């Protein structure tokens, strides 16, 4: 069994347990374990052979999970899951994805109305049956109908970070084939778009049938949808989410066309329209086989060759959206994009003091292991009651604990921080004298995101003008595919941030990526230092950094543009 298959079982188990009202801590443990397993370089099945003890060395895998894993590897099944599957239909699990209704309501819909699919739910909502359910009402029915529209729209796309382990695993297995020389992802995945509609993979091979056979037999492939001489489309089994079944296009190309095919199938369509026009102006033709002058092949073996034939430097895939890349390429001023190794600090994370799962010291140790030199502990402020947010007194005690942790670890600096809510009435959730004592304050909107633009702006400006606020965290508050961001006049906000020396965050969580690519590029134009932070809620959360860096790259950010690439001393000087 592959890691991803095992991960999927635990993800499904968490979903089903959620419907039974299991506690949030246990659910999160299963979901985190699923993510960890999916991206683990070693094969779980091999580790399991040496027993549960060796599995417990994986961070986040305790005794209970380790024993379950051994059973899964030995039998291919998770008995507890099999039992739950008998009781709860797949369609009911899908209802959990509807924004605005939680497991309790879904359980009521299933138990009291016996509805088992999204279509049945829509019909019942339209017929007024949902509104009549105890504890529901007309408003909930409307929320459900709106939520169903959103689910159906977003069901088509998958977070880049969820697709990554799948792509990597398929690429690895194609690479291991005798006949295959080069393999790469293309399409939106390679451009590191925040979500992907389908996956595109290219190989060069002396035996295209072998590559296609291998893909068809891959454990993650559910069905072959179409197969030709050089092209195959398959449907993958669902990953991390009962609804989404990604499809994947495999194309087998000859060596001399590999670069041209990479360029063509990486897109974007908008970027490639300009490429073709540019070729025409030079009396050339460019397609997925190469660059041609009349019938004569000019280039195509590498992407660099293709761009060079058009008089252009190589353009990083993340920039290929026909935004500014051609202008910059022509001027010779393409940015040298930031990489994940450039990052030295992480300025947004949680501990068990609020809704995190690890202690201050555990978070610091994990950050240090990942090569970070400094972190800020930013637990929630009191408004976030759901997460056991901190009032002034608890926060001060928490900071004392942080100071204690500092003396227990070397090689990493820990800032006393806070993620402070900006309240609906445009005041801060904690008094100024407390904020003044912090080393680092991330101000955020959590509630009232649907307020009118004027009020949202007023709230953000309150925070930006507060001299103790260091940065605005996840500025828009969006959750990709689930919740739109607040209505913000970004120009006004960015201007104020630039004037007051307030930083802007790219929150690296796969579902946030907030600022997005376009706004992060705009913030850079205003000269605002940007921090890319993970918002880690456990030691695994640091793995989200790559997503934030991808978004920063799409925004054209360099190492200089991102504040937390600075050394600790330089960074401290940047904090106002």
Q: What is the contact surface with Ca ion in residues (CB under 5 A)? A: 187-188, 198, 200, 249
Residue nearer to ligand DGT on the CB measure, 198 or 318: 198
With contact defined as beta carbons under 8 Å apart, do 247 and 225 qualify?
A: yes
Pick from 10, 30, 240, 265: which binds ligand DGT (CB under 6 A)? Answer: 265
263 binds ligand DGT (CB under 6 A): no
Could you tell me the sign of the dihedral formed by the alpha carbons of 263, 237, 210, 173, in that order? positive
30 touching ligand DGT, by CB under 6 A: no
User: CB-wise, 154 or 495, nearer to ligand DGT?
Assistant: 154
Binding partner of 268, given Ca ion, ligand DGT, none, CB within 5-8 angstroms per partner class: ligand DGT
Mask: binding to ligand DGT, 408-447, rule CB under 6 A, as x and -?
----------------------------------------
List the one residue from 196, 390, 528, 532 that touches ligand DGT (CB under 6 A). 196
Cβ at position 57, least distance to ligand DGT in Å = 37
Q: Which class for 23: exposed (0-12), middle (13-18), buried (19 or more C-beta within 10 A)? A: exposed
Q: Which is nearer to Ca ion, 89 or 238 (CB)?
A: 238
> In the bound complex, which residue of the shown chain has the CB atom lying closest to ligand DGT?
267
CA distances to 172, 187, 217, 221 from 224, in Å: 19, 20, 9, 8
Exposed e or buried b for every residue in 45-60, given b needs 16+ CB within 10 A? bebbeeebeebbebbb
Q: Is residue 258 within the footprint of ligand DGT (CB under 6 A)?
A: no
Q: How far is the CB of 264 from ligand DGT (least distance, A)?
A: 6
Q: Which of 237, 170, 158 is nearest to 198 (CA)?
A: 158
Q: Residue 325, interface with ligand DGT (CB under 6 A)? A: no
Residue 267 is a binding residue for ligand DGT (CB under 6 A): yes
Cα–Cα nearest to 414, from 316, 346, 501, 481: 346
The two three-digit tokens of residue 322, written as one number: 């026909």
Q: Please, which residue, 59 or 197, has the CB nearer to ligand DGT?
A: 197
198 or 421, CB closer to ligand DGT?
A: 198
For the bound state, the minimum distance from the C-beta of residue 170 to ligand DGT, rounded and expressed in Å, comes to: 15
290 or 541, CB closer to ligand DGT?
290
Q: Which residue in 5, 12, 200, 303 binds ligand DGT (CB under 6 A)?
A: 200
Q: Which of 158, 245, 160, 263 is nearest to 202 (CA)?
A: 263
| The one among 99, 100, 197, 254 contacting ligand DGT by CB under 6 A | 197
Cis bond before residue 465 (omega within 30° of 0): no
Up-side HSE of residue 468: CA atoms within 13 Å toward CB? 18
Of 141, 81, 154, whose CA–CA distance to 105 is shortest? 141
**Structure tokens belonging to residue 436:** 């003044």
* Cα-based torsion angle of the residue sequence 329, 189, 167, 25 in order, rounded to the nearest 10 degrees: 120
**Look-up of token digits 């509630």:** 447
Among the listed ranges 68-76, 250-258, 265-273, 298-306, the one in contact with ligand DGT (CB under 6 A) is 265-273
Q: How far is the CB of 197 from Ca ion (least distance, A)?
A: 5
Q: Would the CA dihedral through 507, 510, 512, 514 be positive or negative?
A: positive
Residues forming the site for ligand DGT (CB under 6 A): 187-188, 193, 196-198, 200, 264-265, 267-269, 272
């Amino acid at each position: 069994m592959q890691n991803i298959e095992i991960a999927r079982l635990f993800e499904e188990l968490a979903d089903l347990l959620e419907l039974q009202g299991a506690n949030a801590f246990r659910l999160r443990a299963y979901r985190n374990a699923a993510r960890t397993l999916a991206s683990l370089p070693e094969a779980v099945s091999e580790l399991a052979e040496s027993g549960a003890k060796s599995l417990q060395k994986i961070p986040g895998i305790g005794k209970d999970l380790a024993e379950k894993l051994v059973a899964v590897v030995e039998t291919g099944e998770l008995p507890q899951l099999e039992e739950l599957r008998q009781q709860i239909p797949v369609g009911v699990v899908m209802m959990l994805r509807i924004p605005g209704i939680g497991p309790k309501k879904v359980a009521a819909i299933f138990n009291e109305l016996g509805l088992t699919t999204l279509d049945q739910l829509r019909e019942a909502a339209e017929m007024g049956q949902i509104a009549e359910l105890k504890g529901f009402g007309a408003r909930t029915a409307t929320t459900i109908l709106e939520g169903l529209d959103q689910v159906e729209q977003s069901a088509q796309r998958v977070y880049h970070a969820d697709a990554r382990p799948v792509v990597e695993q398929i690429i690895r297995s194609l690479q291991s084939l005798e006949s295959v020389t080069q393999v790469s992802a293309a399409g939106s995945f390679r451009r590191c778009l925040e979500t992907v509609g389908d996956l595109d993979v290219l190989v060069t091979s002396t035996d295209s049938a072998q590559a296609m056979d291998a893909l068809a037999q891959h454990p993650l492939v559910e069905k072959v949808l179409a197969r030709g001489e050089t092209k195959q489309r398959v449907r993958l089994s669902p990953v991390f989410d009962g609804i989404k079944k990604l499809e994947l296009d495999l194309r087998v190309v000859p060596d001399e066309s590999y670069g041209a095919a990479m360029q063509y199938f990486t897109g974007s369509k908008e970027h490639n329209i300009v490429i073709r026009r540019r070729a025409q102006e030079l009396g050339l033709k460019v397609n997925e086989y190469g660059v041609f002058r009349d019938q004569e092949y000019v280039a195509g073996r590498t992407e660099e060759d293709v761009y060079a034939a058009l008089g252009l430097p190589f353009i990083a895939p993340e920039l290929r959206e026909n935004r500014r890349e051609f202008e910059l390429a022509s001027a010779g001023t393409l940015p040298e994009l930031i990489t994940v190794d450039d990052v030295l600090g992480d300025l947004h994370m949680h501990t068990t003091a609020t809704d995190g799962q690890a202690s201050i010291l555990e978070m610091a140790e994990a950050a240090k292991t990942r090569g970070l030199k400094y972190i800020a502990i930013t637990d929630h402020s009191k408004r976030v009651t759901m997460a056991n947010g901190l009032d002034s007194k608890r926060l001060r005690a928490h900071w004392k604990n942080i100071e204690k942790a500092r003396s227990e670890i070397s090689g990493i600096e820990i800032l006393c921080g806070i993620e402070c809510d900006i309240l609906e009435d445009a005041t801060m959730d904690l008094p100024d004298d407390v904020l003044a004592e912090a080393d680092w304050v991330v101000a955020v909107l959590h509630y009232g995101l649907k307020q009118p633009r004027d009020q949202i702006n007023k709230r953000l400006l309150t925070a930006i003008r507060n001299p103790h606020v260091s940065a605005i965290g996840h500025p828009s508050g969006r959750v990709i595919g689930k919740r739109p961001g607040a209505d913000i006049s970004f120009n006004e906000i960015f201007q104020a941030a630039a004037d007051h020396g307030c930083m802007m965050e790219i929150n690296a969580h796969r579902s946030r990526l907030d600022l997005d690519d376009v706004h992060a590029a705009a913030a850079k134009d205003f000269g605002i230092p940007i921090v890319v932070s993970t918002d880690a809620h456990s030691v695994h959360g640091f793995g989200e950094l790559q997503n934030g860096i991808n978004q920063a790259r799409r925004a054209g950010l360099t190492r200089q543009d991102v504040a937390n690439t600075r050394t600790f001393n330089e960074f401290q000087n940047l904090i106002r």
